[in-house]
Amino acid sequence: MTARSHEASARKNFMPQGYCVKCKAKKEIVDAVEETMKNGRKAIKGKCPTCGTVMFKILGGKAPASSGTPATPPASQ
């Protein structure tokens, strides 16, 4: 068995947004392709609809828990 389900052919309603460094604005990412990076995180790679600059948006497979519960160990003693 070969696990080769990486080809998203009929997915046109999938329009994520990203930040274009050239336009300095948020844009829809066209030709968006979901990729999994080496560290296991998912990212979206595509192009800016205005200038065609390659855009890259990291989705983050593992939530980094931004300012949630402070990890303070209880003082035992």
The residue ranges that bind Zn ion (CB under 5 A) are 20, 22-23, 48, 50-51, 53
CA dihedral 34, 60, 16, 4 (to 10 degrees): 20
- Identity of the residue, 36 or 50, whose beta carbon is nearer to Zn ion in the bound complex: 50
Which has the closest alpha carbon to 20: 29, 11, 12?
Answer: 29
Q: How far is the CB of 43 from Zn ion (least distance, A)?
A: 18
**Residue 30 vs 33, nearer CB to Zn ion:** 30
Question: Which of 17, 36 has the CB closer to Zn ion?
Answer: 17
Q: Shortest distance, CB of residue 20 to Zn ion, whole angstroms?
A: 3
Structure tokens at 77: 């003693």
What is the nearest approach in angstroms of Zn ion to the Cβ of residue 11?
Answer: 22
Three-state SS for 54-74 is EEEEECCCCCCCCCCCCCCCC
